[in-house]
Structure 1
C-alpha cells in the first residue's frame, strides 16, 4: 500500500528528473516545487519545474528536442526510482507529461505511429542517460533537497546542479 510519503518521494524524483535534464541541456531552472496549483496552462498537480530556455524558435529541431527530453525526464526518473517500466501514456500521474510531449512533437513527427516511436526512443535514451551514476547522483541530490524544503529556487538549485552536471550541452 502506498503512503503519502511514497507519493512525495516519487514526486521529488519526478521533478528532479525534469530539473537535471533541463539544466544539462542548457536551460535555466527557475524553480522546482513539490506542489503546484492549477494555472492557465496546467491542471493542479503534485509538482512543478520551471525551465527558462531563453528565446525559442519552435521550428528549430534541437530546441524542440531538448524541451521534449526535459518533459519526459520526469516520468523516466520516477520510473527508475520505482524500478518499474511504466508507459507515460498509460500511467495516470504521467499522462500530462506524455500529452505535453505528444503535442510538442507534432510538427516533428505528424503521424501518430512514428511520433509514438520517436517519443518511446527518447524515453529509452533518457533511461540510459539518467541511470548513469553521475546523472543519477544529481537526480538524487535534487530530490533530497526537494524532500527537505518542498520548493527550490534557482539560487538553491544552482550549486547542486553545477556540482553534479559539469558538462552542459
Structure 2
C-alpha cells in the first residue's frame, strides 16, 4: 500500500523518531496540515520543540538538518529506492529547508551539498537498522490509525522500540 497517506505517515515518522532521539520534544505530529491555507502538496506536519538552544551551535545545526532530512530518508527506505531530495518533487521542500538551515555554515555550495548528502547516507544507514526501523514503522502505524499523535504517545512508542 503505497498511497500518499501511507508515504506521508512514514515521512512524518522519520522526522519524529530522529528528532525525538536527538533530544527534541515532539509536541504533535499529524497527517494533514496544521496550517490553514497551506500548499496543496503538504500532507503532514510535525511540531518539533528543541527548547532553549543556541542556533549557531554546530551540534544544533546537525540535529535540525538530520531531523529535516529524516522524512525523505524514511520514505526512501519504505519504497526501497534512493532518490535525491533536491530532485524528487515531494521532498524538495525538505531539501530546501535543510539547505537554508545549513547555509550560514557553508560559504561553498558544493561543500554544503556534500554535507547534506553525507547526512542522508548516515541517516539511511542508521534508520535501516532493525530496532530503528521498527520505531519508524510503529509511529507510522499509529499515525495511520489515529491521524495525529501527541508527545506522550510518541515518547511511549519510540521508547518501546529504542
* Bucket of the pairwise TM-score, normalised by the shorter protein: over 0.9
> Equivalent residue of 1:51, what SS?
strand
Partner of 1:96: 93
Quote the offset at 1:157 in angstroms.
1.2
Contact 2:34 2:45 in 1 (8 A): no
> Equivalent residue of 2:28, what SS?
strand
Give the Cα–Cα distance (whole angstroms) in 2 for the partners of residues 130 and 60 of structure 1. 24
> Equivalent residue of 2:104, what SS?
coil
Quote the offset at 1:53 in angstroms.
0.5
Partner of 2:13: 16
**Aligned 1:1-150 pairs, distance under 5 A:** 6-38=3-35, 43-44=39-40, 45-150=42-147
Write out the 4+ residue segments of structure 1 that deviate beyond 6 Å after TM superposition.
none
Aligned residues: 161
Q: CA RMSD in A?
A: 1.6
Give the Cα–Cα distance (whole angstroms) in 2 for the partners of residues 110 and 19 of structure 1. 30
Write out per-residue CA displacement over residues 101-138 of structure 1, whole angstroms, 9 at most, x where no aligned residue.
00001112222111000000000000000000010000
Contact 1:138 1:164 in 2 (8 A): yes
> Equivalent residue of 1:134, what SS?
helix
Contact 1:27 1:52 in 2 (8 A): yes
Contact 1:75 1:97 in 2 (8 A): yes
> Equivalent residue of 1:105, what SS?
helix
Contact 1:37 1:43 in 2 (8 A): no
Give the Cα–Cα distance (whole angstroms) in 2 for the partners of residues 23 and 83 of structure 1. 24
* 5+ residue gaps, structure 1: none
Deviates more, 1:150-159 or 1:74-83: 150-159
Which of 140, 158, 161 pairs up with 2:158? 161
Quote the offset at 1:163 in angstroms.
1.2
* 5+ residue gaps, structure 2: none
Given the two structures, how large is their TM-score scaled by the length of structure 2? Answer: 0.94
